[in-house]
Structure 1
Amino acid sequence: VRGLSSFFNLNPDLSEWKNLHDTKLVIDGNNLIYMLYYSSHLECVYGGDYDRYAAAIRNYFGVFKTCNVEVILVFDGGHDVSDRKLKTCQRRLQDRLTTAKAIARTGAANQKILPILAHDVFKDVVRELGISVMQCSSEADEEITAIANHFGCPVASQDSDFYIFDIAGGFIRLDSIANVPSTIAVGDAKVSALSCRWYHIDHLLAHFPGFDRCLLPLFATLLGNDFVNGSTFENFLGRIKLPKLSKRKLKISKRHTNMIGLLHWLQTATSVEGTISQVLVTLKSGVRDEAEKSIRDAVIRYGTRSSSFVRNFQDGSRLELLNLSGAPFPRWFAEQFFSGVLSPYLLNVAIVHKVFHLTQIDCFEMPSSYACSLPLRKTLYGLVLAAEEGSDVAIEEFDREGKNMVRRLERPSYEVSRFGRLPKLHEIEELDVLTRRRLFDCVFEFDACVLKYPEPLHIMLAVVSYWLHHACSLTNENLLRSLLLNTVLLRLLPRATQSSKKVCGKPRSASDDPNPTNIEEVLLGVQDEQVTQVVIDETCKNFSKFWSRPTHNHARHFDADLVYSCCQLQTCLMFARSINRVLLQPYRDAQFHRLFNGTFLYNFTKELDTRPKPDLFIAEYLGRGSPLEVAFSGFYKEFRSVLPDRCFVRRAVPSRKKKKNRNVRDKHTDEEESEESVVLLTNRFADL
């Protein structure tokens, strides 16, 4: 609701401090994904530091566990088929595009956009933690309210709509919840609790005696929200007189005058129907019907409604997901969707036939980073819509073209080369795992038989191979080296001692990853006992400087081409996950927080670009001749051998300039060498 958050910020007395402990708490999952990434000060420029995001998620929920707060996460589902929020979605896409363009110019970190795999990382980690996850078929606000009222507990969100919903347990802004628990006395016992600002609609209505709370939805609608354009009712709001405020003890700014005037006017209203009639007569006849529908829809939306999740809690009623014709999706599909395993993107494909692609830090003179994954999406569309083959259905994609947002129509692919016709959704469950694996490999044109590698890496290697073959620009081979090395290092970091975990100047928590994978899951031939604690600590120290944000200036320009390559890879990873999950996971999912740190990829690739012998440089850092180095070197060479040279940029080997006189220095030379020392580990690596 426009202006509502700032109004409550001006009037903190409308909420009260409370201690949160020994209760359930329903959290708006979509809100938390954004808030936690941004509040953790994680990088957005280089594609996402997903391992650090995973650590932040674990730490965040660990605090709730300490205070015996049982969290229930509820997520938005697909877009509304009525397109009520279409303009809002388009505006947000345009805002994100504007921000991405600003970042791409210089790599400036003063603006932020959420990396596109953050949603998947968040859901993966909370699932590991055993937290309850519920994903709605569409907008989640009403379900969040219904679930909270069922349990009699509060809702936590940043969404100002929850100031309007009648929530018995009250509303807590996410950013008001303390990060550190305190110890309080409850009776004779001492418990851990989190302080927070707690709000209930009675706090607001106390300033407007006689106000019927049934009119609050009307208040929100007339002000304007994501579903209703506030300008529709400007003429009506302009007729309302502002009351004297001295007795109400409320602080307002100029932008809040209409809000207070509307509350005062509604205070004297006697019924919803009569109030709607009074509003409509002030509008032009040509907009009345549409305005009335918007008002009535909003009254229903904010009011008490039945909840499929609550019915499931009460009597075990089955959760059904219906397609556009009203027929149910297969049971496995519905179960996977409502538990958050399947992406809402799939529902947008199946029901709305409309998808929105979030702009990344692209090269804006090049095609969108989503262009290289188009064949994957067309296959995904075909899997979801196979039952509609022959109906001439097309998916409307909203994506950037150049520096502007455009709409494109893309038709599903219903056949895959070397496999044949795609199965319908209800047929997938009947296919054996080998058939589903063959279908996945055919989609990615990946011949698994020519390589030896651990099974957990299958999806990653298939996606990397696909990306290199379909990228809109040739790839820097050093990025491939960095990517495979990153996968190994992210297995080692959680097992390093605290003194070796100093990344970006801060030690990583020992509980960063409570279930670190064994090294043999990424490198064949290396036994876990061969990688001793000394080896792990030394290796992590060697690479520690590459996890810190790089400095961009006139001498070290932001490499937009490198980031653009990473962006293309991420779109391929995202749609590969959806394909694997629609096929009921014939392969183990790639866990993005265990294979991708964008800052490391950027820094280490740039470092390798300065090295005439990048493979030798990596070998020295891993410990030349060690089991770890030998296994990684073999792994890289084998994978590289199946990739054609045409996928990569031809590299000019850097030469090391000789100094004419090593004893003659000036201030400028000292400064240059000081800068060089940031990227050199020791002098013995200088020629590598």
Structure 2
Amino acid sequence: MGVQGLFTFVEKHPRIYRDVRFRMSRLVIDGANLIHLLYFDSGLDQNHGGEYAAFEELIERFITALRDCGISPFVVLDGGSDYTDKKLETMMQRAVDRIKKAHRAAVEDSKKNVLPQLAKLMFRQTLARLEVPMAQCYAEADQEIAALANEWQCPVLSNDSDFYIFDLPGFLPISHFQWEAVEQSGSQSYIPCKKYNTSSFCIFFNLERQLLPTFAALAGNDYVKLQKMERPIDWTQFCPAGDGIPSHLEGLLCWLRDFHQPEKALEAALGLMRELSKKKKAEVLQGLYLGMQEYKLPSSALKRFFVHGAAPPFPTFEGVKGLVPDWTRLPLTQARLTSDILDVLLLQRNNLSLPVDHGDMPSINLTSTAAAPGDRVAGQLTLESLDQAESSQRLQVLLDALGVTEASLSRLPPQLRLPVAVTCYWLQRAQPCPDQSLLKVLLLGLSNGDALRQRAALQMQNERCKQKLSVSVGHAFNQWQACLKDGVYLNQLLGRPLEEPQIARLYEGTLVHDLVHRIRTGKLKQLLKYDRSRVKQYKSMLAIIHQFHSQKASTPASDNQETVTPPRRRRLPLGDLTANLQQLFLLCDDDEEAEMEVSSGVRAQEELHLGDLVSVKTRYRAKERNNRSKNPELARKEECRGDPVRW
């Protein structure tokens, strides 16, 4: 997790770096670090649930820049939490800090560097689509990244300060990696950047190289919190006099100059802790040695995976053996299976999503944790042999968990089946119950995809304004994303019985928030031209959701089957939508056709009462047949044009 303050400290001494023209090389990339820095440094919106399409395009440009310079990227991702729990205190404190940041971001509508929920999933999907070699570790990735780079004799790309300590062929800080400014030298392209070597650091501070891990351990690690002890060592006392503001890292480096071996330095450091008991000193010494071990480089466990596609063996630590099924190793390493499963199996807990949300609101994760697969099929399967189960069984477990049927999804294209099933689940479980405008906006985004995003982005750019974040709308969409993420992860565990949806095509935060505001204030403008295929897709999704709610309302729970009792169904509030309906349609160029569609839409607003779908449809269709018999020309035009979309 890095040496606190070391990155900033090194930045104050730029002579440690060397300017290089990086090209024609392998590059081991710290994936977790890259995700955060790319998203946060790009200026993309963080508070409305993520700008995934724009983030996807950014990742594509990054990979293209590398390949244009003959650079072969190998991305390594973090896995589960450390099974020894030695970093639990640090993780808990960082989770508390993220919750506070997320609350402040929601209240102030300001950027606090809170990563959107689906950004990591979308990052992995994009790399897979671009065929970028990628590996997910079983635990934290730093040591594996360093080991692989050491065996391949290539640099590491990251901003994690741990890589200032590992003895590597080279470390390229992302902050100085100018991938957006590719330059030419003759016929060769290169990326201007700065390179760090431990030898340069040690020469600059007159330090023996073997003392770097000792420096990191004494500066503070996840085993021993020296700075939090009752009487921590004041390293600033060893800073040269008159050398500006004293730094504890510089003071520690000055103190270490007198030593040549780590053991002697550690003994002397314990001597500075005179108030500690003998037993406590032994504990501190053990923690310091364990911290130093983190920087020893083993043989790479990922080299064989990248070359031959073979997953590394799972660690055989005490208490771990046999808890993780062998068949999961390869999909875990390929990042086709979320590493959350490791935390559940090894630690019986899971790290929950912490998006931008008001601290007084209930956790969004309560929505997605209310489901349980029915005993009918799930009870017949075991995790150890889940990969051998029939595909129909695995599909049924997923459908049971989401509360939908295979037949209800059959009319949809494969890529929309899981998102629509999740939306049905979300409408049933979300609290408070989402209103109709939220549902319409979600389905509009699902059905219209890129074209809608492009026109909306242009329109919002021209208007040069952004609506203030609505906490209630954000909370509802956060619940939907939590349901989608967990639905995708369950689908992965079950071997993808439904096609995994591409996140970048499903949701665009600033767009959906803007559309909700426009619907509610009657200011929605036309974003798309009429598209029969998209209209048909929208209507199919809406009909499925109507049917789902009708069945939930009319089907009693079985007496002999234990079920999860859903919250009481409430009719979605509609308000006076008549005026807005005239703006909601995807108008065609023909004014007469547009007028007819608007008229049909106003008549069809009754259909938005989900519980009354069947009776409303019957009445509407009878009325429509009557109108056609009285007006043959109208019937002819409707047949040529196709059914109008009814929101």
Fold in common (TM above 0.5): yes
1:650 is matched with: 573
1:177 is matched with: 177
Query: Matched residue of 1:26: which SS?
Result: strand
Offset of 1:83 from its aligned partner?
1.6
Is 1:445 matched with 2:403?
Answer: yes
2:392 is matched with: 434
Which whole-Å CA distance do the structure 1 matches of 2:188 and 2:376 have between them?
62
Does the 8 Å contact 2:235/2:252 carry over to 1? no
2:268 is matched with: 278
Offset of 1:643 from its aligned partner?
4.0
Is 1:27 matched with 2:22?
Answer: no
Is 1:639 matched with 2:639?
Answer: no
* 1:92-491 to 2 correspondences below 5 Å: 92-106=94-108, 108-168=109-169, 170-185=170-185, 190-209=187-206, 211-231=207-227, 235=231, 237-238=233-234, 241-242=237-238, 244=240, 254=245, 256=247, 258-283=248-273, 284-285=276-277, 286-310=279-303, 319-322=312-315, 324-327=319-322, 329-376=324-371, 379=372, 416-421=374-379, 423-451=381-409, 452-491=411-450
Does the 8 Å contact 1:66/1:192 carry over to 2? yes
Matched to 2:435, the amino acid is N
Which whole-Å CA distance do the structure 2 matches of 1:304 and 1:228 have between them?
21
Distance 1:44 1:68, change over 3 A: same
More deviation, 441-450/645-654:
645-654
Distance 1:633 1:437, change over 3 A: closer
Does the 8 Å contact 2:166/2:295 carry over to 1? yes
Which whole-Å CA distance do the structure 1 matches of 2:64 and 2:484 have between them?
29
Which whole-Å CA distance do the structure 1 matches of 2:479 and 2:240 have between them?
58
1:606 is matched with: 517
Does the 8 Å contact 1:503/1:547 carry over to 2? no
Which whole-Å CA distance do the structure 2 matches of 1:138 and 1:195 have between them?
32
Which whole-Å CA distance do the structure 1 matches of 2:64 and 2:452 have between them?
20
Query: Matched residue of 2:369: which SS?
Result: helix
Offset of 1:122 from its aligned partner?
0.4
Does the 8 Å contact 1:76/1:140 carry over to 2? yes
* 1:437-586 to 2 correspondences below 5 Å: 437-451=395-409, 452-492=411-451, 501=454, 504=457, 544-545=459-460, 551-552=466-467, 558-586=469-497
Does the 8 Å contact 2:29/2:76 carry over to 1? yes
Distance 1:245 1:204, change over 3 A: farther
Which whole-Å CA distance do the structure 2 matches of 1:551 and 1:423 have between them?
49
Cα offsets for 1:369-404 (capped at 9, x unmatched): 00011134xx5xxxxxxxxxxxxxxxxxxxxxxxxx
Offset of 1:141 from its aligned partner?
0.9
Cα RMSD for the two superposed structures: 3.2
> Which of 57, 60, 63 is matched with 2:59 structurally?
57
Offset of 1:366 from its aligned partner?
3.2
Does the 8 Å contact 2:171/2:197 carry over to 1? yes
Query: Matched residue of 1:356: which SS?
Result: coil
Offset of 1:599 from its aligned partner?
1.3
Unmatched tracts of structure 2, length 5 or more: 551-568, 603-647
Greater share of strand residues, 1 or 2? 1
Greater share of helix residues, 1 or 2? 2
Distance 1:144 1:564, change over 3 A: same
Which whole-Å CA distance do the structure 2 matches of 1:633 and 1:358 have between them?
29
Matched to 2:421, the amino acid is A
Cα offsets for 1:282-334 (capped at 9, x unmatched): 33015323211211111111122233223556898751225844127444310
Does the 8 Å contact 1:178/1:196 carry over to 2? yes
Scaled by the length of structure 1, the TM-score of the pair is 0.76
Which whole-Å CA distance do the structure 1 matches of 2:293 and 2:159 have between them?
22
1:17 is matched with: 19
Does the 8 Å contact 2:368/2:483 carry over to 1? yes
Which whole-Å CA distance do the structure 1 matches of 2:131 and 2:577 have between them?
50
Offset of 1:264 from its aligned partner?
2.3
Matched to 1:202, the amino acid is S
Cα offsets for 1:518-540 (capped at 9, x unmatched): xxxxxxxxxxxxxxxxxxxxxxx
Aligned sequence identity (%) = 25
Which whole-Å CA distance do the structure 2 matches of 1:270 and 1:606 have between them?
66
Matched to 1:213, the amino acid is R
Matched to 1:351, the amino acid is L
Matched to 1:57, the amino acid is I
Does the 8 Å contact 2:424/2:545 carry over to 1? no
Matched to 1:631, the amino acid is K
Distance 1:318 1:622, change over 3 A: closer
Offset of 1:181 from its aligned partner?
4.4
More deviation, 299-308/475-484:
299-308
Offset of 1:551 from its aligned partner?
3.0
Which whole-Å CA distance do the structure 1 matches of 2:23 and 2:264 have between them?
44
Which whole-Å CA distance do the structure 2 matches of 1:219 and 1:466 have between them?
52
1:627 is matched with: 532
Offset of 1:644 from its aligned partner?
2.9
Which whole-Å CA distance do the structure 2 matches of 1:551 and 1:105 have between them?
16
Offset of 1:182 from its aligned partner?
4.0
